[in-house]
Amino acid sequence: MIQLNNREKRFIIIGIIIIVVSLAYARFFYPMYITINALVDEFREKQTVLRDLEDIQTKVKRLEGKIDNSLKSLEEVEQSIPYGKNIHKLLLDLETLLNKHDLKQHAFAPQDAEAMETYYILPINIRVSGKFEDIIGFLRDWENYQRLVNITEAKLYPDDENDSNIVGEFVANIYIFKTEEGFVENFEGFTFEGDTGRLDPFAPI
Amino acid sequence: MHEINLLPDDYLAKVRSKTRKVFVISMAMVLVAFLILLAATAIGRYHKLKTEIVYYDTIYSEHFLPLLKKEEELLKKEKDISDKYNVYLELKQQKTSMSEILLQLAKLTPESVRLVYIDIRDDKSIVVIGQAPSDTVIAQFMVNLGKAGNFTDVNLDHITTESEQGKGNLFTFQLTFFLK
């Protein structure tokens, strides 16, 4: 057996200690230190989530309030510029206006819709006849119609059939919002009571 | 006085070696204890951080993400409403008040002038054909239009004096002007 002197023994013990500490450092403490540092960074980053959460909660509440207020304006806008042509409603309302102003309708012809970026323009040609002041009254009512109507062209000339009347030819633009589904027509709420259809639709009226 | 140690040298050396061994073992134990403590602290910190990160992850996935989604939807809706409203305002602004134009034209027409044709076009040009008993009245009509403020470039295209049956000597004229 090798006999070690005190100096050699001390050297071996110190060596073992250094090796153990180095191994512990290299295999455990340093990786742990790196992992913990990474976790601390992640933790700090995620701590901001809580702060952001409060910000977003406030923002969402504010947005909800703002949208609630805007919904009323949107209703007005959607009534003025619907998502469908809704010509049936226009016809009904136009007839009411014509009767109110004692005018005779000669033509009503919707043209092809012109596509813009977010909406369509649908020009409608209308020809009516009656007194000048009645035509003005009709135009005024129509300009204030619930739907946005822009009368872009007008032609007025005396009526050949009745000298005291004049004929008015108008081009009125109505507008329709674009949707992914195309034109969304609203046929709800229109009831025509008493009409059960005809046995022979070709029979004279 | 001098203190004399009468113990033999080898005994003294043995005692000193024993003290040193105890010291070395104590130091080693302290070192090991220190390392164990350090390791335990590091592991404890690691687990604490892990737990808190899991907690924040739960908050993130259960509260933060749905809120973010909701915020995105609300922003989109807000933009949609605002875009639609802007389109509405823009179109409303473009609106031509045809009834007012026609009414104003009627008010500016002198009493002895009869209009037989009014054509208001999309490009804001207006063509008016009428009948008047004299050039003066036509001139008056032109002055009225020019002074009104809503019309510009009032031009007389022509005057014809062809008299129609039963209408005496009426001048037929055509004016072209533009809406401001």
pLDDT digit string (tens) for A122-132?
A: 999 999 999 99
Confidence at residue A135, expressed as pLDDT on a 0 to 100 scale: 96
Measure CB to CB from residue A32 to each of B42, B56, B83 and give the nearest one.
B42
Task: Name the nearest CA neighbour of A105 among A94, A93, A121.
Answer: A94
Residue B76 and residue B35 share a domain = yes
Question: Band of the pLDDT at B128, cuts 50, 70, 90?
Answer: very high
User: B120 to chain A nearest CA, in Å?
Assistant: 5
Residue A39 has pLDDT above 80, yes or no: yes
Confidence at residue B123, expressed as pLDDT on a 0 to 100 scale: 92
The 8-class DSSP code of residue A2 comes to: P
Choose the most confident range, by mean pLDDT, from A74-83, A166-175, B44-53: A166-175
Interhelix angle A30-80/B65-94, rounded to 10 degrees, is 30
State the average pLDDT over residues A34-46: 89
State the average pLDDT over residues B62-67: 88
Q: Mutating which of A134, A136, A145, A171 best tests the B interface, going by the most B Cβ atoms within 10 A? A: A136
Residue A46 has pLDDT above 90, yes or no: no
- A184 in any annotated domain: no
Which residues on neighbouring strands pair with residue A19, listed in sequence order? none
**Domain encompassing residue B49:** 1-95
Q: Report chain B's mean pLDDT, rounded to a whole number.
A: 88
CATH code for the domain of B107: 3.30.1360.100
Distance CA A158, CA A178 (A): 40
Residue B84 and residue B103 share a domain = no
Helix, strand, coil percent content, chain A, rounded in steps of 5 = 50, 20, 30
**Domain encompassing residue A19:** 1-80
pLDDT digit string (tens) for A137-184?
A: 999 999 999 999 999 999 999 998 888 899 999 999 999 999 888 888
Confidence at residue A71, expressed as pLDDT on a 0 to 100 scale: 87
Q: Report chain A's mean pLDDT, rounded to a whole number.
A: 89
Domain boundary among A51, A80, A109: A80
User: For residue A201, what are its two tokens?
Assistant: 């639709």
Residue B145 and residue B58 share a domain = no
Residue B120 and residue B53 share a domain = no
pLDDT digit string (tens) for B98-107?
A: 999 999 999 9
Q: How many CB atoms lie within 10 A of CB A8?
A: 11
Confidence at residue B159, expressed as pLDDT on a 0 to 100 scale: 94
Which helix or strand (DSSP H or E) is residue A107 part of? strand A104-110
Q: Which residues 56-95 in chain B show a CB within 8 A of chain A?
A: 56-57, 59-60, 63-64, 67-68, 70-71, 74-75, 77-78, 81-85, 87-88, 91-92, 94-95
CATH code for the domain of A122: 3.30.70.60
Residue B39 and residue B18 share a domain = yes
Distance CA B124, CA B98 (A): 11
Distance CA A7, CA B68 (A): 70
Q: How many CB atoms lie within 10 A of CB B160?
A: 11
Which has the minimum average pLDDT: A81-85, A89-93, A196-200, B42-46? A196-200
Confidence at residue B164, expressed as pLDDT on a 0 to 100 scale: 56
Task: Name the nearest CA neighbour of B104 among B147, B137, B158.
Answer: B147
Residue A25 and residue A10 share a domain = yes
Nearest residue on chain B to A133, alpha-carbon basis:
B103
At residue A43, φ and ψ (nearest 5 deg) are -60, -45
Confidence at residue A1, expressed as pLDDT on a 0 to 100 scale: 67
Distance CA A144, CA A174 (A): 13
Who has greater pLDDT, A180 or B15?
A: A180
Looking at the complex, does the CB of residue B53 fall below 8 Å from at least one CB of chain A?
yes
- On whether the pTM is more than 0.95, the answer is no
Domain boundary among B34, B67, B95: B95
The 8-class DSSP code of residue A135 comes to: H
Residue B167 has pLDDT above 60, yes or no: no
